[in-house]
Amino acid sequence: MSGILPASHPWRSRATGALALAFAAALVIPLAACSSGGDSNGGDAASTTLTYATGDAEPTCLDPHVGGNYPQALVGSQVMESMVSLDEKGSIVPWLATEWEQSDDGLTWDFTLNADAKFTDGTPVDAAAIKANIEHLQNPETGSSTGYLAVQQIAEVEVVDAQHVRFSMTRPDAALLESLAQPWVAIMSPAGIERGKEANCAEPIGSGPFKVSGWDRQDKITLVRNEEYRTPPTGFEVVDDSVTEIVWRFIPDATARFAALQSGQVDIIDNPLPDQITEAIKSDGLEHLNAPRPGSSNRIELNTAQAPFDDAKVREAFISATDLNAGIETLFEGVTERSYSALSSVEPTAVQSPKAYVFDQDRANRLLDEAGWSEKNADGIRVKDGQTLTARFPITGSQSTQAEQALFEQIQASTREVGFDVQITPLDLSSWYGALGKHEYELVSAPYTKIGPDVLRFLYHSDATKPAPSGYFANHSMLQDPELDAKLDVIGTESDPAIRAQAAKDAQEIIAETHAILPIYDQQNHFLYRSAVQDLRALPTVSTPWLGSVRLGE
Amino acid sequence: MRTIARRALGAVVVMFTVATLAFIALQFIPGDPAEAALGGPGSQATEEALQAARAQFGLDRPIVVQYLDFLWRLVRGDLGVSYSQHIPVAEVLGRAVPPTFILALTALIAAWLLALVSVLVASGSSRIARGFTLMIDLFAAAIPGFWLASMLVLVFAGSLAWFPAVSTGGFNGIVLPTISLAIPIAGFLAQVCRSGIDDAQRAPFIESARARGESELGIRLRHVLRHGVVPGLNLTAWALGSLLGGTAVIEVIFARPGLGRTLVSAVNGRDIPVVLGVVLLAALAYVVAAFITDIVIARVDPRTEARIEQAVPRA
């Protein structure tokens, strides 16, 4: 180490000079490299490589049957297709299946498949492939935790002929088509599945507009255009000059992601911060796509099974004490609207009940007095029988964005004014699920993405208070209401759309009347992109971006 | 020779202890590792699927058996298979080590360069320069890495667009992450080096060197600086640890592949074999760095060489 500064040199002049030179070089060389690198990305009109930067977690497996979460859906939607899709109004439309028919008893479904559909390994999307995929989902070795729920009621899949497949059901399932439209039930090449989990996780073979060509973990997935693509879902088209390559990058930090978009290093980003959305809307070179997810709204659930929210008056008081509209306005700067429903506003059966969620501090105080919480301790927190009016609120970054956590803090402040002590505890995802499993919560926020009103049955049926083998249960508000259960059963089994929609409306009204939830807004799903990106739309299924017909202009 | 054998044995003991402590600690974190294979925490998988995952990874065996099996595989160099990625841990680490190694190395070099510049400026006679660098060092040492990184992204990638906001795989992509990691460490290094220099300047051997008729310049180079950098060199092993910790934040912000990012996602997903692999690798890096630092210090400061040879513990 004595070599750092040779002892015989006049260090004041020579050594510092050398250092200065080194620093100058360190600054200039990357600048030169930067300017030459920048041109190849932004300036070349013939370039059809699109860079998508996601803030969602990197999938650990690209086969959406394994596990089954939103990050898998985002990239999977570019590679794999489902049997059916949705149109903008939320009605089921053909995709890999062109026609279908349900038997009168609801126990048999017959599907006709699109004869043009081919996997990128050259094999046809035929009845045998559908059978192999449903069985792959149902096999415990696959480790499916989302997609298998969609095919639980399918007892047997019968190959009638190459283009026709028949499902025999254990019981009628009114939500079957909505379930099959989800990307977690996407159809893959049976030959690809047979390679085993490691290979199929790294490179699933679908029939979609792109195929996986490489995956540098923690960096990017490269997708190349499927030149033989013929089968976009109803409402979408194949275009000749669509992008030929997608670089799918993982950029977890929101600031870096937006800076990369502004500098043209990437073309599309997801999960922008609210102030970035407002900045993009004002900016000339950037566009905004707002595509709320289907299923539930983002809402705070009140645990009705334990004190203090086992008392309906206390629940109503909590909701009345919350000035949510003001908080949403300041934190989200008008990029999103308030929800008054358990369902996402993109669900055709969603019913808004604004009257159930009015901010009224006096009413909150009166209700708490009536409920026996009439005294306050030195800190201004209400007390009853020696107990303080405390509500534990575990939160996790995986379920709630930073802006949303700031909103929760506002709720904490506004409910404190009437004497609630809301204790917000940030946890990592495993610990958060652990806290829920042990019922160590009075308040919780956990959005749930699923197509159709059947999500209400998943979230509020008394059956959903029973934990899954992992300890997970979806009915966090612990509602156990026979009248509500009856309505939810109708949603699950009734195939008449009008009767089903009425049941969904009734169910939402019952949920609003029980004061078991505080709806906030739709599940936020925003995309920002450079103006050069043309024809970017979201698939109406679970609102993942559809890059199959996107072109890059100037 | 005996010293090397002694140190090697020490390294083995350290690695064994780290492996055992990490294994035990991971038993106490909440969450079922079997869920890692089924899409992560909060899985709605069936009992059959959970059992299949447990059987696949041997999680259905008694904990002592799992521990002994883990040690036995470790001795043979087998780190197991990632629960969530379904590929060998060695492969996961093999991908993550080179980018982190390069980043840590460039950051360490940059930190030393910055620290030496600061020390050289401050050891001059100008009191203003001295006060100024002192302030800069203090600020640099106190600055949180994530804040610095975000500021650099906003200014140099967003507004000025001099550097890419996120890793490009090329040279220009490593500049901002290197600076983000180097500045806080440079602040620490400069502070400890400067106090070493102050001590040396007041030391009697400086007077005797002067009395021998050595030039002021020669004194500074041969005696003052040489003494000054020793405390900094002693800190280099610490700096390496700080760098590895820093990469967990910096790699996430600049979207660089690497060990830090691997660790963050493995901890969140309860991918225990990967967590253990990263922890062991970090411990190994520490042991190696401490060894190299000792050798380097021995060359700069001959007194320590004698101490190392006699295996006398350093003060």
Cβ(A51)–Cβ(A250) under 8 Å?
A: no
**For position B1, what pLDDT does the model report?**
57
Residue A11 reports pLDDT greater than 60: no
pLDDT at residue A448 tops 70: yes
Least confident of A309-313, A514-518, B241-245: B241-245
Q: Does A68 touch chain B (CB under 8 A)?
A: yes
Nearest-CA residue of chain A relative to B84?
A: A60
pLDDT for B307: 55
CB contact under 8 A, B162 and A434: no
Q: Is A116 helix (H, G, I), strand (E, B) or coil?
A: coil
- Looking at residue A105, its pLDDT comes to 92
In the predicted model, what is the mean pLDDT of residues A229-248? Answer: 93
Burial A23-49 (b: 16+ CB within 10 A, else e): eeebeeebeebbeebbeebeeeeeebb
Out of A390-394, A444-448, B29-33, give the one with best mean pLDDT.
A390-394
Mean pLDDT over each residue of chain B, to the nearest integer: 83
State phi, psi for A430 to the nearest 5 degrees: -65, -45
* Residues A253-288 pLDDT 10s: 999 999 999 989 999 999 999 999 999 999 999 999
| pLDDT the model gives residue A81 | 97
Average pLDDT over residues A240-244: 92
Q: Is B152 helix (H, G, I), strand (E, B) or coil?
A: helix
Cα separation, A169 vs A156, whole angstroms: 7
Q: If pLDDT is split at 50, 70 and 90, which confidence band does B224 have? A: confident
Helices (H) and strands (E) in chain A, counts: 17, 25
Q: Give per-residue burial for B260-287: e unless 16+ CB within 10 Å, then b.
A: bbbbbbbbbbbbbbbbbbbbbbbbebbb
The single-letter DSSP state of residue A452 is: S
Q: Does B314 have pLDDT greater than 80?
A: no
| pLDDT of A32 over the 60 cut | no
Asked if the Cβ–Cβ distance from A30 to B175 is below 8 Å, we say: yes
Contact B31 A4 (CB under 8 A): no
pLDDT digits (tens, 9 = 90+) for B165-213: 887 777 788 899 999 999 988 888 888 887 777 777 777 877 788 788 8
Residue-level pLDDT at B306: 54
Q: Which structure tokens are listed for A362?
A: 């006096």
d(CA A332, CA A404): 9
CA distance B172 to chain A (A): 5
Task: Give the nearest partner residue to A218 out of B120, B124, B262, using CB atoms.
Answer: B262
Other Cβ atoms less than 10 A from the Cβ of A87: the count is 12
A133 or B3, greater pLDDT: A133
Cα A505 to Cα A502: distance, rounded to the nearest angstrom? 5
Average of pLDDT values for A308-325? 96
pLDDT at B53 over 80: yes
CA atoms within 13 A on the CB side of A535: 16
Would you call A470 and B38 a contact, using CB atoms and an 8 Å cutoff? Answer: yes
pLDDT band, very low/low/confident/very high, at A394 (cuts 50, 70, 90): very high
Residue B46 confidence class, pLDDT cut points 50, 70, 90 = confident
- Which residues, numbered 238 to 297 in chain A, qualify as contacts with chain B under a Cβ-Cβ cut-off of 8 Å? 249-253, 255-260, 262-263, 265-266
Instruction: List pLDDT tens digits, range A71-92.
Output: 999 999 999 999 999 998 889 9
Question: CB A140 to CB B30 under 8 A?
Answer: no
Confidence (pLDDT) at A13: 34
* B38: nearest CB among A67, A250, A252: A67
Place of tokens 């566009």: A287
CB contact under 8 A, B157 and A1: no
Residue in A11, A34, A251 to test binding to B, most B beta-carbons within 10 Å: A34
Highest mean pLDDT among A17-26, A534-543, B111-120: A534-543
For chain B, give the number of residues. 315
Instruction: Give the Cβ contact number of residue A152 at 10 Å.
Output: 15
Q: Is A349 an 8 Å CB contact of chain B?
A: no
pLDDT in tens, B71-94: 999 889 899 888 888 889 999 999
Nearest to A391 by CA among A300, A297, A324: A300
End-to-end CA distance of chain A: 54
Q: What is the mean pLDDT of residues A28-39?
A: 36
Under 8 Å between Cβ of A86 and A173:
no
Separation in Å, CA of A300 to nearest CA in chain B? 18
- What does the pLDDT look like over A321-378, one tens digit per residue? 999 999 999 888 888 999 999 999 999 999 999 999 999 999 999 999 999 999 999 9
- Provide CB contacts within 8 A for A480, sequence distance 6+: A305, A462, A465
- In three state form, how does the secondary structure of A141-172 look? HHCECCHHHHCCCEEEEEEEECCEEEEEECCC
Q: pLDDT band for B117, please (50, 70, 90 cuts).
A: confident
For A:195-234, CB contacts with B below 8 A are 197-198, 201, 216-219
Reported as a pLDDT band with limits 50, 70 and 90, residue B2 is low
| Contact: B299, A68; criterion CB under 8 Å | no
Check if the beta carbon of residue A240 is closer than 8 Å to that of residue B155.
Answer: no
CA A131 to chain centre: 28
DSSP codes, A377-421: -TTS-EEETTEE-EEEEEEETTTS-HHHHHHHHHHHHHHHTTT-E
Helices of type H across B226-271? 226-234, 236-253, 259-269
Indicate the DSSP class of residue A451.
Answer: S
Contact assignment for B39 to A69 by CB distance below 8 Å: yes
CA distance A393 to A387: 17
Token pair for B306? 């004698």
Q: Which residues of B touch A2 (CB under 8 A)?
A: 226, 299-300
Q: Nearest-CA residue of chain B relative to A259?
A: B158
More confident residue, A309 or B186: A309
Q: How many CB atoms lie within 10 A of CB A341?
A: 25
Residue A187 has pLDDT above 50, yes or no: yes
Residue the block writes with tokens 């003052």? B224
Between A436 and B145, name the one with better pLDDT: A436
Separation CA B192–CA A25 (nearest Å): 28
Are the C-beta atoms of residues B258 and A254 closer than 8 Å to each other? no
**Per-residue pLDDT at B305:** 53
Contact A61 B86 (CB under 8 A): yes
Specify whether the CB–CB gap between A123 and A191 falls below 8 A. yes
Q: Whole-angstrom Cα distance, residue A83 to residue A92?
A: 10
Asked if the model's pLDDT at residue B129 lies above 80, the reply is no
pLDDT of residue B125: 62
Please tell me the distance in Å from B313's CA to the nearest CA on chain A: 22
pLDDT at position A72 is 94
